[in-house]
Amino acid sequence: METTEEYVYVLDYLPEGRGDVPPHRRYPVVYGIGENQFTILELVPKERITLSIGDRIYIGKDARKREKIKKIKGRIGYSDLTGTAHVEMPYVIHDIVKHKEEYFVNFFNNAPAISTRFHVLELLPGLGKKMMLDILDERRKNLFTSFTDMTDRIDFLRAPDKLVAKRIELELTDPDQKYRLFTRPPITQGTPYRQ
């Protein structure tokens, strides 16, 4: 997994700032989620720009390519997001998973066992032992090439992209998750974002 976020997807955009902040301390704010490690970030947009929920925007190190973001304020937790961002997050995560299909199909092709009795694939919500065994049997024959290839070859597997998206959402919303397949550990107070 890559160590920095180059692109984020917009979860919420508040051009007038947060309403729960005193007027003299308000500033325009963007809440976004990174496409590599699903890092939740607070960003300050450039002046006179327009953003919509779901937009993919560059926040990488090359300042000349940062057309819409003036500053990365920092990494934040799920509880710091707005209600709108909470509602939009599952849809945006699913869009990212679809956009990075090859990466996540490779996850299914290479996911290891955690112990002799437990496999990483069993951490995906809704994927039980039988389906996990079917996936392992099929990938031994031939590696999967797409989500469609997976659903064509495995009985009762309907939406592997949604299984992955639900796991990512669980890792972001529950800081006590023991295993993190796709996200960074939750932040502790005062942990700055390192680009």
51-108 pLDDT, tens digit per residue, is 999 999 999 988 889 999 999 999 999 999 999 999 999 999 999 999 999 999 999 9
* Range list for CATH 1.10.150.280 in the chain: 99-173
Per-residue model confidence as pLDDT tens digits over 12-40: 999 999 988 888 889 999 999 999 999 99
DSSP 64: G
Answer yes or no: are the C-beta atoms of 30 and 67 closer than 8 Å: no
Exposure string (b/e) for 20-36, b if CB count within 10 Å is 16 or more? eeeeeeeebbbbbbbbb
CA atoms within 13 A on the CB side of 15: 8
Per-residue model confidence as pLDDT tens digits over 173-194: 998 999 999 998 887 654 444 4
What CATH number is given for 99-173 in this structure?
A: 1.10.150.280
Residue 168: alpha-carbon gap to chain centroid: 6
* Range list for CATH 2.40.50.140 in the chain: 7-98
Residue 114 CB contacts under 8 Å (≥ 6 apart), including other chains: 120, 179
Answer yes or no: are the C-beta atoms of 31 and 10 closer than 8 Å: yes
CATH of 7-98, one of 2.60.40.10, 1.10.3720.10, 2.40.50.140, 2.40.40.20: 2.40.50.140
pLDDT given at position 1? 34
CB count in 10 Å sphere of residue 126:
12
C-alpha dist (Å) from residue 171 to 3, 32, 131, 137, 179: 17, 16, 22, 27, 8
Query: What is d(CA 82, CA 19) in angstroms, rounded to the nearest whole number?
Result: 10
